[in-house]
Amino acid sequence: MRYRLWIYLLMGMMMSIGGMAQEKQNNFEISKSLDIYNSLLRELNLNYVDEINPGELNETAIDAMLKGLDPYTVFIPESEIENYKLMTTGEYGGIGALIQFDGEYTRISDPYEGWPAQKAGLRAGDAILSINGVDAHKKTTEEVSELLKGQPGTEVSLKIKRYGEDKPIEKTLKREKVKIDNIPYSTVFDNGIGYVTLSSFTKDAGNEMKQRLLDMKKEHQLKGFIIDLRGNGGGLLNEAVDIVNLFIPKGQPVVSTKGKAQNSGHIYNTNNQPVDEQIPLAILVDGGSASASEIVSGSIQDLDRGVIIGQRTFGKGLVQNILPLTYNTQMKVTIAKYYIPSGRCIQEIDYSHKKDSTVTKTDTLGKPFKTMAGRTVYEGHGIMPDVKITPEKYATVTAFLYAKNYIFDYATKFAHEHKSIAPANEFKIDDETYRDFMNFVKEKEFSYTTESEKILTDLKTSAKEEGYLESIKTQLDALEKQLQADKENDLIKNRKDIEELLRLEIVGRYYYQVGRIVASLKNDPDLEEAFKILLDKNRYESILKP
């Protein structure tokens, strides 16, 4: 026994000495590298043939260094600090609108209802020609965004070009402290199921979710509750814990963090009494659900408290912290990995072992773990839903129409020609509207290349190089002709998907973000599956059993 004790003590001393030696070696390398860097930058400034900008070179060097780590560890110059505050608070000083670049000008793509842009009459599709007299032509969305933002209460003057108007329109807006809603929409459906769209995890997300749930329970006899985390890229970890706490007892570990620094390891437990431990719960997720969204869905899954429905989540199990640097700069740095109650880490990519800048995801199952009830779950691939819903893939023509803004531009035209439409959940694309859309696309000389056409072109090139082209030219020409004939009917063959995107874009012009959410829930397979499960007690309980 005494011999074992000496062995353990000796091993501990060796590990401690080894750690100290490694730290000493790292400190020497850092000092050496800084000395080399300082002398290099100094000599460049003295000897380079042209004038240099040391600040720009320094930022380039920092970005290149951090790029070798992971995508989440980044340098934040003083000019970008406000943008990072938005991620944690959901607040910024500005006009309250989403924008997008069309190749010439940045356009308003979505004014937030109730904020300066919408109150001043700005519309989706408006092209920004100038901001406070500054020409906005060819300026990126980042550059335009910086010009639009500012201290609440200050004014910003815009000159815009609107569809259907010959002359530019001038608007003067007063900036406000814009707060992006964590919960843009919630409702109780006729079947008694409560529903909440949670779009972010900024400050007070947990309290807001709690209040919505309490209000629903007060006014309705809820048969189930749905949290929609699709497309939610995450946010504050403590808000995720508070939301989980609404459904599980006080004192339950939800997530733990483990990193190199002593203060990076922490266990986050629920601190409050739950609101409802019994209500049937479903969480909707997809490939855009990441970080805090995965803490909520993963811990609910590990604790067998609810059913996860949808597609595999993103797989971001890394924790970041923002550290202050000199000259009012900062660094957002990955300090730890987080682990959910089963003990699994859901991080998809191991950046420490990447061979180059290219990293890929894999469907290979990771290490198995057990939920509280004994169900098998796997590590390293985000959260695998309990009930998988295969999303419909858009045809090539649909993807091109959306990516090249034909759907967006037609919605602008439609809104100019129609003062009002039916309520968001009732509006439909009728035959007349769809014919008008097809004519609009035709007038714009819409063209695209299908995968089949690319393969045929490659086949012709290979056949010519190998000397087969003349003997198969007739067949290839006939195939090309047939492909072109079929392609001309793509707008008709794929009407269902195209008109769904059209419907949502047009609804957004009249009813903004809330209207678009309401319209999107009308034909939602994930939501329909959640209804079936929550209203079927036997099926709900069977999913949560080993």
In the predicted structure, residue 356 carries a pLDDT above the cut 60: no
Which range has the worst mean pLDDT, 130-139, 230-239, 260-269, 351-360?
351-360
Structure confidence at residue 24 (pLDDT): 64
User: What pLDDT, in 10s, does the model give residues 269-309?
Assistant: 999 999 999 999 999 999 999 999 999 999 999 999 999 99
Cβ–Cβ < 8 Å for 345, 366: no
In the predicted structure, residue 3 carries a pLDDT above the cut 60: no
Mean pLDDT for all residues in the chain: 89
* DSSP β-bridge partners for residue 131: 134, 158
Structure confidence at residue 10 (pLDDT): 52
pLDDT band at 23 (very low <50, low <70, confident <90, very high): low
Dihedral angle sign, alpha carbons of residues 367, 368, 372, 375: positive
User: What pLDDT, in 10s, does the model give residues 222-231?
Assistant: 999 999 999 9
In the predicted structure, residue 55 carries a pLDDT above the cut 90: no
Structure confidence at residue 366 (pLDDT): 81
pLDDT band at 259 (very low <50, low <70, confident <90, very high): confident
For the chain, give the percent of residues with pLDDT over 70. 91
Structure confidence at residue 88 (pLDDT): 64
Q: Which of 316, 386, 497, 526 is catalytic?
A: 316
Structure confidence at residue 489 (pLDDT): 86
pLDDT band at 33 (very low <50, low <70, confident <90, very high): confident
Alpha-carbon distance of 515 to 118, in angstroms, equals 15
**Complete domains list, the chain, with CATH:** 91-179 (2.30.42.10), 185-354+361-391 (3.90.226.10), 393-546 (no CATH)
Q: Per residue in 257-294, is it b (16+ CB within 10 Å) or e — as a string?
A: bebeeeeeeeebebeeebbeeebbbbbbbbbebbbbbb
Nearest to 164 by CA among 437, 502, 419: 419
161 catalytic? Reply is no
Over the Cα atoms of the chain, what is R_g? 28
Which helix H or strand E contains 122, and what residues bound it? none
Q: Which of 130, 289, 291, 299 is catalytic?
A: 291
Alpha-carbon distance of 84 to 149, in angstroms, equals 13
In the predicted structure, residue 364 carries a pLDDT above the cut 80: no
What is the mean predicted confidence (pLDDT) over 363-384? Answer: 88
pLDDT band at 81 (very low <50, low <70, confident <90, very high): confident
Any residues with CB less than 8 A from the CB of 378 and at least 6 apart, and which? Answer: 344, 365, 366, 367, 368, 369, 384
What is the mean predicted confidence (pLDDT) over 482-502? Answer: 86
Report which DSSP code applies to 357.
Answer: S
Cβ–Cβ < 8 Å for 221, 195: no
What is the mean predicted confidence (pLDDT) over 368-372? Answer: 95
What is the mean predicted confidence (pLDDT) over 69-84? Answer: 82
Which residue do the tokens 């300090």 mark?
335
Structure confidence at residue 9 (pLDDT): 52
Structure confidence at residue 456 (pLDDT): 80
User: What pLDDT, in 10s, does the model give residues 171-187?
Assistant: 999 999 998 899 999 99
Which range has the worst mean pLDDT, 81-95, 127-141, 449-463, 469-483?
81-95
User: What pLDDT, in 10s, does the model give residues 223-254?
Assistant: 999 999 999 999 999 999 999 999 999 999 99
* DSSP β-bridge partners for residue 337: 258, 318
User: What pLDDT, in 10s, does the model give residues 389-445?
Assistant: 998 888 989 999 999 999 999 999 999 999 999 999 999 999 999 999 999 999 998
Cβ–Cβ < 8 Å for 58, 326: no
Structure confidence at residue 468 (pLDDT): 77
User: What pLDDT, in 10s, does the model give residues 440-471?
Assistant: 999 998 887 777 778 888 888 888 888 877 88
Structure confidence at residue 341 (pLDDT): 97
Any residues with CB less than 8 A from the CB of 75 and at least 6 apart, and which? Answer: 59, 62, 63, 66, 329, 330, 331
Cβ–Cβ < 8 Å for 120, 135: no
Q: Which of 242, 286, 302, 526 is catalytic?
A: 302
Structure confidence at residue 362 (pLDDT): 59
302 catalytic? Reply is yes
Tokens at 360, concatenated:
């890929």
DSSP 24-57: HHHHHHHHHHHHHHHHHHHHHHHH-SS---HHHH
Which range has the worst mean pLDDT, 343-347, 417-421, 530-534?
343-347
Entry pTM: 0.85
85 catalytic? Reply is no
Any residues with CB less than 8 A from the CB of 523 and at least 6 apart, and which? Answer: 500
Report which DSSP code applies to 392.
Answer: P
For the chain, give the percent of residues with pLDDT over 90. 63
Backbone phi, then psi, for 210, in 5-degree steps? -60, -45
Q: Per residue in 109-133, is it b (16+ CB within 10 Å) or e — as a string?
A: bbbbeebbbbbbebbbbbbbbbbee
pLDDT band at 351 (very low <50, low <70, confident <90, very high): confident
Structure confidence at residue 355 (pLDDT): 53
What is the mean predicted confidence (pLDDT) over 327-338? Answer: 89
Which range has the worst mean pLDDT, 15-29, 392-406, 530-544?
15-29
In the predicted structure, residue 541 carries a pLDDT above the cut 90: yes
Residues for the chain: how many in total?
Answer: 546
Alpha-carbon distance of 511 to 508, in angstroms, equals 5
pLDDT band at 194 (very low <50, low <70, confident <90, very high): very high
Higher pLDDT, 115 or 9: 115
Any residues with CB less than 8 A from the CB of 397 and at least 6 apart, and which? Answer: 448, 450, 487, 490, 491, 494, 498
